Structure 1
Amino acid sequence: MSEIIEEIKKELRNQTTVPYFGLGIFKDIKTKDGEQMPYDSDSMILRMNNNRPMSQRLMFEYSRAAMHLEERRGVQYLTQLVNSIYAQDFEPTPLQKMIINMQPIYIIDTNRDSKIQELLAYEPHCLILGKSRIMADKNRYETYEYDVENKKYFLVEDNVLDDAKKILFKPMGSILPEPTFVISDADYVDWLTEAMGGFALPPILKTYRKTKKYLFLGTSFDRDTDRMVANELTFDSAGGYVITDKELGKKEKKFVEKHNLVVVDMSLEDFIKEFV
């Protein structure tokens, strides 16, 4: 196992493996008020519904539950709700800190928090923020450049990415610079439809991602949505690694085999201990 960890370290340092963060990195992470951060589909649904379970049909996947809330209360309500979850006071996770310390130049973060942005607040970087249901444009993202001196993001054209020293890609949105999220079924359908047409990420990343490996951290492939998103974001990949101590289901195993991923059988907590 230690040989695989050392190989992952080496590949992170030489930029051949790209870190890919999922919801599971927040397991055991609590806010300053002692509230558990959502770390899987069920816990996300509970947080969106005042810690009350929803119907079995809606509990299947949080995007379905989010769609129900959007239909009842509206898009603005759902945006404010998700923003309130991630705007709470909590520390960046040990895993986020550890990976940032490896100085990757390209990071994929499918979570909606701003903690990696906060960890990068003292160095120049570009942010690619996923969007959905934009009527005026096929592209399902916006590109920002971070001004270190003024601590602000500025909307820029994609050509700025040509000289970017670091790129943070948050395809499902973030609370910063303005709250925008891909979270409901309608959001995902729109985003995935345009992603399949090639409009979910800038052209430079389509070139950069070729032959890259991916390190999946806190990412589960037991839901169709997560598999489809990962498939689009890691197209042309050369394989990679999944860190998990959970037994994989049939669909998960099929995804792992299709994408030539190595399953590293350990919890994220043990991975961190071994890594450092």
Structure 2
Amino acid sequence: MTTLATRTEPLVLSGAAAEARLLEARAGLLADRLVPYLGPDLLAIAGTAPVPLLPETVAAALHAKAPAPARIRTNMWSVGQFIEQRRHRKTLIAYMAEIFAASPEATPLHAWLAGLPLSLVVDTWYDGAARAAFAATERGDWIEVQGVTRSGENRDIWTKVYDPAGAEVLPEAADGAKTVLYKPHGAVTPAKNFLIADSDYVEVLTEIDIQSPIPEVVKRLRTDRSFLFLGCRFHDQMLRTYARQIAKRSAGAHLGVVDLATAKKNELKFFAEMDATVLDLPLARAVEILVG
């Protein structure tokens, strides 16, 4: 089935057409023409994930540790702000580290991507599965760039850079890496960086339109590449805003693997606005096709 895109509806491929287009995407990944944009749903392919997979479930986990007012308790960023204000930033970081302490196993897709000559991989969740997959390859030519909070910083900083051993290195190290693993919201490994509270995003969202928070290496690498969205949900405005800005000024012709049975209208509208083709496939099937 193919439907023409409108202002609020993306082009959708399903069945054999979707699988054929995903095989083309596989070739694009092998040729380093596509940037994988990974979300937390990938962690549940093999069964129940050991960490929360949605902002709402992170909010519930934080609320269980520090009860928040009813009006905000389903909003991850607001609950994070509440804990930071009432119990200190260190407490919020400790809670997040506990919530994401269980290490999800790297999926076959993570492992496959880590072995490819990709220039850029974007991983949007707080877990360490992607880092573990790269570490398992014993490659030494990759680098990780993480978004960090500006709380407590006295310098103009948006990101920190880590080498394969987990040591912080100078930002320039990313320019010489074969592969950049970009974690825009931070991660539990290797240094417990979390963009989680409303205050973390105040300055980010103020400047994201002019791209200041986006690392220069990401801006450079995306220019002649398109994005393949896998395992991502875009039901929240914050998630959509980040995706738009990360993919800004890229080559376009993006793809998104989406289960139409569970997708919300605002998610489909997002893909339409991004001029992205939606591949209506179960995520597990999409991974099977990509990994081969």
* Whole-angstrom CA distance in 1 between matches of 2:216 and 2:50: 38
Is the Cα contact below 8 Å between 2:50 and 2:102 reproduced in 1?
A: no
Is the Cα contact below 8 Å between 2:119 and 2:221 reproduced in 1?
A: no
Q: In the alignment, what sits opposite 1:9? A: 26
Deviations along 1:237-274, one digit per CA (max 9) or x if unpaired, are 21311111135434323321121111111121121233
* Whole-angstrom CA distance in 2 between matches of 1:198 and 1:252: 23
Is the Cα contact below 8 Å between 2:115 and 2:134 reproduced in 1?
A: no
Deviations along 1:169-210, one digit per CA (max 9) or x if unpaired, are 111112233111101111122222233333213323212211
Partner letter of residue 257 of structure 1? Answer: A
Is the Cα contact below 8 Å between 1:140 and 1:195 reproduced in 2?
A: no
With over 3 angstroms needed to count, the CA separation of the structure-2 counterparts of 1:52 and 1:271, relative to structure 1, is farther
Q: In the alignment, what sits opposite 1:272? A: 287
Question: Quick check: 95-104 or 211-220, which moved more?
Answer: 95-104
User: What is the root-mean-square deviation of aligned Cα atoms in Å?
Assistant: 2.5
Q: In the alignment, what sits opposite 1:96? A: 110
Unaligned runs of 5+ in 2: 1-17
2:157 pairs, out of 139, 143, 146, with 139
CA drift of 1:55 comes to 5.5
Deviations along 1:207-254, one digit per CA (max 9) or x if unpaired, are 221132111112111111001111111111213111111354343233
The SS at the match of 2:284 is helix
Q: In the alignment, what sits opposite 1:186? A: 199
Partner letter of residue 188 of structure 2? Answer: I
Whether 1:227 aligns to 2:237 is no
Deviations along 1:84-108, one digit per CA (max 9) or x if unpaired, are 1222243223332243344422111
- More RCO (CA 8 Å, sep 6+): 2
Number of residue pairs matched by the alignment: 268
CA drift of 1:54 comes to 6.1
With over 3 angstroms needed to count, the CA separation of the structure-2 counterparts of 1:58 and 1:170, relative to structure 1, is same
Is the Cα contact below 8 Å between 2:256 and 2:276 reproduced in 1?
A: yes
* Whole-angstrom CA distance in 1 between matches of 2:112 and 2:97: 25
* Whole-angstrom CA distance in 2 between matches of 1:142 and 1:53: 31
* Whole-angstrom CA distance in 2 between matches of 1:244 and 1:56: 31
* Whole-angstrom CA distance in 1 between matches of 2:230 and 2:121: 12
CA drift of 1:28 comes to 5.8
The SS at the match of 1:220 is coil
Is the Cα contact below 8 Å between 2:66 and 2:83 reproduced in 1?
A: no
With over 3 angstroms needed to count, the CA separation of the structure-2 counterparts of 1:57 and 1:9, relative to structure 1, is same
Please, what TM-score do these two structures have when normalized by structure 2?
A: 0.82
* Whole-angstrom CA distance in 1 between matches of 2:110 and 2:231: 11
- % same residue: 23
* Whole-angstrom CA distance in 2 between matches of 1:202 and 1:90: 27
CA drift of 1:52 comes to 10
Please, what TM-score do these two structures have when normalized by structure 1?
A: 0.86
With over 3 angstroms needed to count, the CA separation of the structure-2 counterparts of 1:198 and 1:93, relative to structure 1, is same
Is the Cα contact below 8 Å between 2:230 and 2:257 reproduced in 1?
A: yes
CA drift of 1:59 comes to 4.3
* Whole-angstrom CA distance in 1 between matches of 2:175 and 2:249: 20
Is the Cα contact below 8 Å between 1:242 and 1:264 reproduced in 2?
A: yes
Is the Cα contact below 8 Å between 2:80 and 2:197 reproduced in 1?
A: yes
* Whole-angstrom CA distance in 2 between matches of 1:4 and 1:81: 42
